[in-house]
């Protein structure tokens, strides 16, 4: 059956109004399954339209006259929770559907007031959700759909105990939708414990980076790396560029060096408050600063479509993070570019990446980069 034939006239009108014309493959493949209340184990990269894939059918199934929480979405970061909340609100159109986001870094009292005013959909990070559930402020008795979004990232943050605690608290009949860029034993164990006959849907090759990113590496000593970043940016002329460093100290140092050379650059790291982080992300999205230097933790959940270039200033400490990093470009079918800077002491780790993901990275020379 056609994707739009499965939707209400209200949802079709909302999609037309906001410019959604053609569903992505993951949206087409999962709509009927989610509407049919199947559990799903989805393997999908960022940028495939995954959020709308679960948001549209969830909105369709909400009982609008019931103000109790009916859908719960767990995200690894505040940034992703806020972005997901915005998608739900946009797709809700002119209906009175209420979506509330809850996360650390904002006063709990603000979120408590929002929940008590009625929230049919709650989107948040596991730590804050667990806290609100334990205080009996967020009640899960009426929840009929639970989403674990970016499950592998949540596990990387050590949220497994919180996730299990929350899922155990959802006692009514419900469906569980699990989405992850990679699949590992912990995720499989969650599926076995909390899902019932999940349907597996997969987009792209499992545990492999997206095929829409042109990947290469560049040999550069520590002293050469700042110049290599500048050369790459001048050559590629990206609309937006994201540079990953392994520590906040290296983030700060590189940001300072680029700024002193006249580049419009900002940085994200763990020392920033939520308001500072929001301001930085807003200037980056608007293109007022075109280069963002970040740690892996700070960059989790960044969902910006115009990132043309990702630079790995350092090879990630955990090779699995390589996928999450390069997945910030080459989104929604566009071609992206990712280049990894490799110091002599890390030269063997490129081989490790190639073996782990069964890929071949092109070697480039500094002058050609």
Q: Give me the helices (H) in 21-77, please.
A: 25-35, 50-61
Q: Is the pLDDT of residue 369 over 50?
A: no
Residues 123 and 198 in one domain: yes
Looking at the chain, the whole-number percentage of residues with pLDDT higher than 70 is: 95
- Please state the pTM of the whole predicted model: 0.72
Residues 217 and 198 in one domain: no
Rounded Cα distance, 230 and 233, in Å: 5
The reply to whether 246 falls in a domain is yes
The reply to whether 207 falls in a domain is no
Mean pLDDT, the chain, as a whole number? 90
Rounded Cα distance, 360 and 112, in Å: 50
Please check whether residue 60 is in contact with residue 8, taking contact to mean a CB–CB distance below 8 angstroms. Answer: yes
According to the model, what pLDDT value does residue 209 have? 54
Structural domain boundaries, residue 180: 3-202
Sign of the four-CA dihedral 261, 307, 41, 64: positive
Q: Is the pLDDT of residue 192 over 70?
A: yes
Residues 182 and 224 in one domain: no
Residues 148 and 257 in one domain: no
Number of neighbours of residue 196 by Cβ within 10 angstroms? 11
The reply to whether 183 falls in a domain is yes
According to the model, what pLDDT value does residue 333 have? 64
CATH number, position 344: 3.40.50.300
Q: Are strands 362-364 and 213-219 parallel, antiparallel or unpaired?
A: parallel
How many structural domains compose the chain?
A: 2
Rounded Cα distance, 93 and 12, in Å: 10
Average pLDDT, stretch 257-263? 96
Residues 126 and 230 in one domain: no
According to the model, what pLDDT value does residue 44 have? 78
Residues 112 and 257 in one domain: no
Please check whether residue 80 is in contact with residue 303, taking contact to mean a CB–CB distance below 8 angstroms. Answer: yes
According to the model, what pLDDT value does residue 69 have? 98
pLDDT band at 368 (very low <50, low <70, confident <90, very high): very low
pLDDT band at 128 (very low <50, low <70, confident <90, very high): very high
Average pLDDT, stretch 212-227? 93
Q: 18-42 in b/e burial notation, b at 16+ Cβ within 10 A?
A: eebeebbebbebbbebbeeebbbbb
pLDDT band at 46 (very low <50, low <70, confident <90, very high): low
Looking at the chain, the whole-number percentage of residues with pLDDT higher than 90 is: 67
Residues 174 and 25 in one domain: yes
The reply to whether 208 falls in a domain is no
């Amino acid at each position: 059956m056609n994707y739009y034939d499965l939707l209400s006239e209200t949802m079709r009108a909302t999609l037309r109004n906001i410019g959604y014309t053609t569903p992505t493959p993951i949206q087409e493949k999962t709509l009927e399954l989610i509407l049919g209340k199947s559990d799903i184990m989805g393997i999908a990269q960022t940028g495939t339209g995954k959020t709308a894939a679960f948001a549209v059918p969830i909105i369709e199934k909400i009982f609008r006259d019931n103000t109790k929480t009916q859908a719960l979405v767990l995200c690894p970061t505040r940034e992703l929770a806020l972005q997901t909340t915005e998608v739900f609100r946009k797709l809700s159109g002119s209906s009175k559907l209420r979506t509330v986001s809850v996360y650390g870094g904002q006063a709990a009292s603000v979120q408590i007031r929002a929940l008590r005013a009625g929230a049919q959909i709650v989107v948040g990070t596991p730590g804050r959700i667990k806290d609100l559930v334990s205080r009996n402020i967020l009640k899960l008795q009426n929840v009929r759909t639970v989403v674990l979004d970016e499950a592998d990232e949540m596990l990387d943050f050590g949220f497994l105990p919180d996730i299990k605690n929350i899922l155990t608290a959802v006692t009514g009949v419900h469906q569980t939708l699990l989405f992850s860029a990679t699949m590992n034993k912990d995720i499989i164990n969650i599926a076995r414990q909390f899902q019932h006959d999940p349907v597996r849907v997969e987009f792209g090759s499992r545990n492999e980076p997206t095929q829409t990113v042109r990947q290469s590496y560049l040999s550069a000593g520590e002293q050469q790396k700042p110049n290599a970043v500048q050369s790459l940016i001048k050559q590629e002329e990206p609309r937006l560029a994201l540079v990953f460093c392994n520590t906040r100290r290296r983030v700060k140092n590189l940001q300072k060096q680029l700024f002193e050379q006249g580049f419009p650059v900002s940085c994200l790291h763990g020392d920033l408050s939520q308001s500072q982080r929001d301001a930085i992300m807003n200037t980056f999205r608007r293109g007022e600063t075109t280069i963002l230097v970040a740690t892996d933790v700070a960059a989790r959940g960044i969902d910006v479509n115009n990132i043309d270039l990702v630079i790995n200033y350092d090879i990630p400490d955990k090779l699995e993070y390589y996928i999450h990093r390069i997945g910030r470009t080459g989104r929604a079918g566009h071609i992206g570019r990712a280049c990894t800077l490799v110091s002599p002491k890390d030269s063997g780790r490129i081989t490790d990446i190639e073996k782990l993901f069964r890929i071949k990275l092109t070697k480039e020379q500094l002058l050609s980069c």
